[in-house]
């Protein structure tokens, strides 16, 4: 069976072997973050719908889990905001009922947690990984470019409220970008919001590869570590840059070679590579960032999107 809504499994440091489930088509989201690795949001919406049919997702999950070893986690993520899918809670309940040994993680931008129905739908998850990049209106508009009815205060209140109800783990991700949300006012506001949210852990992250706007600058690794040292949270870590990531066991040389071979024949977009290689865009992204950081490939911005091509030797 070819899977349309499942991807991986991918080895993950924190989640073990994780099977991905994509509950919204590319690229439907409540935000249009300047740093998004999935590209520009084509449908910026707060409307919750059954974007991907429940029955089809369940069929794929049953087929996969009958014919493959059990993953440690099933992770809801992908190329948009998974809580926009109205049936996410039903999918979680189905997995919990039929495959109780598998844990469930949800990667979300957290903007819909202010809606009690969304909170309720995630209650059976084991881990929720929300993001919070902005605790001031200006930074929220600048960096996350939200759907116009979203408010940064409600985003934070939703996270606080969810924390009070949710018995699983909350691993918060904070994405920092130079000139967007790294000034002292933004950092102070973020710190006090996190104090109120009380996540179980915090990850500080920054740009690995081009986002959807040109000229974005990552916050340096040293600066991230300085911020980490200034914030008084016990479980806070800085995500290692790509150069360090390459040494990890999950890095597969065969996939890297397949990406290089494919784009050596003709430049490809992320979506082209995903179709040609049969690997989910999120997985391919990891290899593109490393190849780009190592100077092996370069990007070309053309009508159909960002193309990747081999870098010519000078
Ligand atoms: S919330 Fe996530 S998927 Fe949506 S635009 Fe931001 S980075 Fe991309």
Structure tokens at 120: 């309720």
Give the H/E segment covering residue 10: strand 6-12
The answer on 222 and 147 residing in a single domain is yes
DSSP element (H, E) containing 261: helix 253-265
| Chain segment 208-224, per-residue pLDDT in tens | 766 788 889 999 999 99
Q: Do 42 and 68 fall within a single domain?
A: yes
Same domain, 311 and 250: yes
Q: Probe ligand 1: pick from 26, 39, 41, 282, max atoms within 8 Å of CB?
A: 41
Contact 182, 222 (CB under 8 A): no
Angle made by CA atoms 98, 129, 78, in degrees to the nearest 5: 70
Same domain, 182 and 248: no
State in Å: Cα 197 to ligand 1 middle. Answer: 20
Q: Kindly report the CATH number assigned to the domain that includes residue 314.
A: 1.10.10.10
Number of domains in the chain: 2
- pLDDT tens profile 252-279: 677 888 888 778 777 788 888 887 777 8
Q: Which of 22, 29, 212 to mutate to test the pocket of ligand 1 (most atoms within 8 A of CB)?
A: 29
- Residues 235 and 120 both lie in one domain: yes
What pLDDT is stored for residue 233 in this prediction? Answer: 92
Single out the residue of 157, 30, 15, 160 nearest to residue 76, CA to CA: 15
**DSSP 3-state assignment of 181?**
coil
Q: Within this chain, do residues 208 and 195 fall inside the same structural domain, yes or no? A: yes
113 lines ligand 1 (CB under 6 A): no
**How far away, in angstroms, is 141 Cα from ligand 1 center?**
13
Looking at the structure, tell me whether residues 133 and 226 fall in a common domain.
Answer: yes
Mean pLDDT by 10 residues, the chain (314 residues): 85 83 94 91 97 97 93 91 98 97 97 97 98 98 98 98 98 96 96 97 87 87 93 88 50 78 80 80 84 84 77 59
Do 225 and 249 fall within a single domain?
no
Domain termination site, one of 239, 266, 294: 239
Q: How far apart are CA 71 and CA 101, in angstroms?
A: 9
Q: Are residues 303 and 212 in the same domain?
A: no
Supply the residue whose CA is at minimum distance from atom 6 of ligand 1.
33
Residues 119 and 155 in one domain: yes
Quote the ligand 1 centre to 76 CA distance (angstroms). Answer: 14
| Residue 1 belongs to a domain | no
Within this chain, do residues 235 and 267 fall inside the same structural domain, yes or no? no
The helix or strand, by DSSP H or E, that contains position 191, with its residue range, turns out to be helix 184-197
Which domain does 155 fall in, by range? 6-239
């Amino acid at each position: 069976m070819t899977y349309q809504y499942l991807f991986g499994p991918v080895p993950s440091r924190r989640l073990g072997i994780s099977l991905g489930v994509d509950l919204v088509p590319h690229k439907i989201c409540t935000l249009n973050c300047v740093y998004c690795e999935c590209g520009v949001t084509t449908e910026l919406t707060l409307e919750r719908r059954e974007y991907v049919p429940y029955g089809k997702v369940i069929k794929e999950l049953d087929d996969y889990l009958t014919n493959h070893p059990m993953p440690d986690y099933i992770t809801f993520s992908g190329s948009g905001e998974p809580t926009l899918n109205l049936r996410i809670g039903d999918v979680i309940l189905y997995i919990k009922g039929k495959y109780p040994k598998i844990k469930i993680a949800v990667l979300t931008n957290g903007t819909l947690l202010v809606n009690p129905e969304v909170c309720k739908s995630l209650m059976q998850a084991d881990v929720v990984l929300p993001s919070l990049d902005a605790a001031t209106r200006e930074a929220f508009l600048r960096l996350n470019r939200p759907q116009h009815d979203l408010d940064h205060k409600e985003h934070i209140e939703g996270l606080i409220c969810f924390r009070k109800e949710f018995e699983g783990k909350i691993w918060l991700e904070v994405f920092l970008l130079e000139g967007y949300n790294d000034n002292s006012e933004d950092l102070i506001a973020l710190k006090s919001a996190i104090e109120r949210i009380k996540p179980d852990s915090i990850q500080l992250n920054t740009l690995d590869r081009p986002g959807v706007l040109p000229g974005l600058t990552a916050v340096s690794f040293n600066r991230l570590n300085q911020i980490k040292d200034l914030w008084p949270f016990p479980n806070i870590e800085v995500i290692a840059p790509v150069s360090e990531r390459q040494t990890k066991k999950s890095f597969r040389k065969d996939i890297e070679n397949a990406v290089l071979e494919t784009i050596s024949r003709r430049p490809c977009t992320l979506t082209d590579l995903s179709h040609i290689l049969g690997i989910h865009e999120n997985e391919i992204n990891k290899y593109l960032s490393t190849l780009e950081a190592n100077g092996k490939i370069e990007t070309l911005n053309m009508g159909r999107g960002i193309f990747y091509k081999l870098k010519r030797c000078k």
